[in-house]
Chain A
């Protein structure tokens, strides 16, 4: 028989919470690791993150390797500047990939690799900002709709219906005509537009399953205010789903920006979409030129695809953790 003894919990609360959280994290990580698709996604994202961070090193390395004897030229023309660069040593721009320019140059003489690298952090910022805004709006609306029900609920659901009626790309195209769509503004608009749409419906459905659980009733009976319940009880329980949707929204945001830039409608100086736009408007994507000038569209297009699919893979990997019914035995 066990002896009953008094034990006083020695550790502080935050330490215990941290340990519990770590244990949960390790378990989810083990689950996550099994999904090769998710690992693939994560690796690609990390790769691009690193790729973007080391960008400043690139011109420095190239300068020291290839331009040692020609510093003056380098300083004047800054051949590796993604926006105003120009390589005077090459006659014909766009030039195919070479040692000096691993991905060749574009019609204006700019180094393609540096354009691609420069755009990377910007794509991240755009994608994550827009997705974050969408998820914050969607979560708050979803939780409030579920909790309050009634007029609030109907209003937001009808609003979502209307928002979903608008083809988002078309609306953005129209907006581009009278708002200057700089990177940050575009992220904001994309984020807000998506925030009121289908994500609210999904998150509300999830919040409803939380709302009917007994502990909500318990919290109410101890006098918790509505805001407190929503913030501290409902939202944390739908957060995993929100996080999942955030990944999917990053994909959409990056894609939307790329399309807008490609069509020449956005006011962004340099992004992957802009690179392809430059190729198209200079006429290098006609007929047989497509194959000849491949470096003008393949690298940028591949980057967009890779990063978008990486976030999507990551999202699907997370889905298996968040939705236990999809788990393998």
Chain B
């Protein structure tokens, strides 16, 4: 398995380099790129200009500039942004990164869990009400015009029901009195969520060991409840509760929109794969062994249908990323997606390149995780 992984990592690194190169040259082809923009910026003093030229080789021919860029890239220095001068691109990205990651990861996790569950149930009862409704509803959400969904959600929850804020990351009124950084509160929230995830995973592993369904449920539910209660107590006791709540409220709609939009992808793949798996002999054998219907469905059929789902996840990444950009724009969510559009509008080339490069890294990382997950789940690869 280690051999397999290391081979994969090498492949990924090569791909990454090719990708960055292509992105760089693509940007170079854009009119009015690098050099002019930098040099025309009035904020740049002659000294800074000299430093920049030295660091980025701005007065050198294109190919040399490329080499400079690659050298800097290896040092994780992605240049300096035009529109947010003199902030570095990398610091801009890292500032906005957690917000997008959170949106993306939550939406993906929820939509896959939802898709997995709905898909396996729909396929198990093919042709019945659940199957027909789930498929129809799923496809409608899959093909819906995302801005339409976003506008509709804003309208429904923000205007008519008035229970959720319309957009943005935070409500400035709530934060006016303090000098707390929203970023810090958010990061703490993320940490909290991460710990919650870890706890849940551990509880799931324990639940595997236990035999009865009732015991499994108790373990999972109790760990969820305990963690949540502890978290709430921690937040309220330090007085940061309302701030955290404000952020959470603002997160609901974007996450909901992106989740609704993407769940059908995994659901349909799961359903299709299940329909094939269901005809396999080992599923009939499982039933012949006298196992309860649910066990046959989940432990035998769904477990095998899970594998193509992981492959599908990788393929649909581009789709979800695009969805993320649109969602962030619609909700004015200050993440990487929106930064992309802003950079585009202000022609901030270094930021654009940086964002694209970063997306590539992210996608390749997801590839790697998916490969590991697949190898973990399919013993035919491990042995």
A interface, CB within 8 angstroms of B: 37, 158, 161-162, 164-171, 173-174, 177-178, 198, 251, 255, 258-259, 262-263, 265, 276, 285, 287-288, 290-291, 297-298, 301-302, 304-305, 308-309, 312-313, 316, 325-326, 328
| Complex interface: chain B residues within 8 A of A37 (CB) | 135-136, 139
Known: A259-B146, A328-B127. A166 touches B276 (CB 8 A): no
Residues of A within 8 A of B249 (CB): none
A-B Cβ contacts below 8 A, count: 121
Tell whether, in the assembled complex, residue A301 and residue B151 are in contact, meaning their CB atoms are under 8 Å apart.
yes
Contact string, B122-153, partner A, CB cutoff 8 A, digits 1/0?
Answer: 00001100000001100110111111100100
27 A–B pairs (Cβ distance < 8 Å), ordered by A: A166-B318, A166-B356, A167-B322, A167-B325, A167-B363, A168-B318, A170-B321, A170-B325, A171-B26, A173-B341, A174-B26, A177-B344, A178-B29, A178-B31, A251-B143, A259-B147, A263-B341, A276-B148, A290-B151, A290-B159, A301-B147, A301-B148, A309-B139, A309-B140, A325-B275, A326-B275, A328-B127
Chain A residue, CB-CB nearest to B135: A37
Find chain B residues with CB under 8 A from A255 CB: 143, 145
How far apart sit A167 and B18, CA to CA, in the bound complex (Å)?
A: 15
Complex Cα gap A158–B12 (Å): 11
Contacts of B19 in A (CB 8 A): 162, 165-166
Pick the residue among B15, B127, B158, B347 that contacts A161 (CB under 8 A): B15
Q: Which chain A positions have C-beta within 8 A of B326? A: 169, 259
Expressed in whole angstroms, the Cα–Cα distance for A174 and B145 within the complex equals 21
Please name all residues of chain B whose beta carbon is closer than 8 Å to the beta carbon of A298 when the two chains form the complex.
Answer: 148
Instruction: Give the CA-CA distance A158 to B15 in the complex, in Å.
Output: 9
Report A-chain residues with C-beta under 8 Å of the C-beta of B136: 37
Interface membership of B1, Cβ < 8 A? no
- B142 pairs with A312, CB closer than 8 A: yes
**Bound CA–CA A251/B276 (angstroms):** 26
Which label, helix, strand, loop or mixed, suits the secondary structure of the A interface? helix
Q: Which of B18, B140, B148 contacts A162 (CB 8 A)?
A: B18
Q: Is the interface of B mostly helix, strand, loop or mixed?
A: helix
Which A-chain residue is minimally distant from B356 (CB atoms)? A170
A291-B139 CB under 8 A given contacts A168-B318, A178-B30, A259-B326: no
- Is the pair A174, B352 in contact by a Cβ cutoff of 8 Å? yes
Given A165-B363, A177-B30, A291-B160: A312 and B151 interface contact (C-beta under 8 Å): no
* Residues of the A chain whose Cβ atoms lie less than 8 Å from the Cβ of B359: 167, 170
Give the residues in chain B near A328, CB-CB below 8 Å. 126-127
B166 CB-CB contact with A under 8 Å: yes
- Point out the residue from A177, A291, A325 that lies within 8 Å of B155, measured CB to CB: A291
Contact of A308 among B15, B143, B160, B360 (CB under 8 A): B143
Pairwise interchain contact A174-B148, C-beta atoms closer than 8 A: no
Question: Is the CB of B283 closer than 8 A to any CB of chain A?
Answer: no
| Residues of B contacting A305 in the complex (Cβ-Cβ under 8 angstroms) | 140, 143-145, 148
Q: How far is the CA of A240 from the CA of B158 in the complex (A)?
A: 46
The residue in chain A whose Cβ has the minimal distance to the Cβ of B145 is A304
Complex CA–CA separation, A263 to B151 (angstroms): 14
Asked if B315 CB lies within 8 Å of chain A CBs, one says: yes
Q: Is B187 an interface residue (CB 8 A)?
A: no
> Which residues of B in the span 49-80 have a Cβ within 8 Å of any Cβ on A?
none
> Which residues of A have CB within 8 Å of B329?
263
Hey, which chain A residues are within 8 Å of B340, CB to CB? Answer: 170, 173
Q: How far is the CB of A315 from chain B (nearest CB, A)?
A: 10
State how many angstroms separate the Cβ of B341 from the closest Cβ of chain A.
7
B56: shortest Cβ distance to chain A, in Å? Answer: 20
Would you call B147 and A262 a contact (CB within 8 A)? yes
Set B29, B135, B147, B159: member contacting A291, Cβ < 8 A: B159
| B272 contacts the other chain (CB 8 A) | yes
B22, CB-defined interface residue at 8 Å: yes
Closest 9 CB pairs of A and B: A301-B148, A169-B322, A309-B143, A308-B143, A304-B145, A167-B321, A290-B155, A305-B144, A301-B145
Q: Which residue of A lies closest to B275 (CB)?
A: A326
Would A164 and B318 be within 8 Å (CB), given that A37-B135, A305-B148, A308-B143 are in contact? yes
Q: Report A108 CB to chain B, min CB distance, Å.
A: 20
Once bound together, how far apart are the Cα atoms of A325 and B144, in whole Å?
Answer: 29
B154 on interface, CB distance cutoff 8 Å: yes
- CA gap between A305 and B136 in the complex, in Å: 13
Expressed in whole angstroms, the minimum distance between the Cβ of A173 and any Cβ of chain B is 6
A162→B363 CA distance, assembly (Å) = 11
Closest A residue by C-beta to B126: A328
A162 partner residues in chain B, CB cutoff 8 A = 15, 18-19, 22
The smallest beta-carbon distance between A106 and chain B, in angstroms, is 16
Is B364 on the interface with A (CB-CB < 8 A)?
A: yes
Residues of B within 8 A of A169 (CB): 318, 321-322, 325-326
B139 and A312 within 8 A (CB): yes
Q: Smallest distance from the beta carbon of A39 to chain B beta carbons, Å?
A: 13
CB-contacts of B284-329 with A (<8 A): 315, 318, 321-322, 325-326, 329
Cβ–Cβ < 8 Å partners of A173 in chain B: 325, 340-341, 344
Chain B positions within 8 Å of A178 at CB level: 29-31
Q: Are B151 and A297 in contact (CB under 8 A)?
A: yes
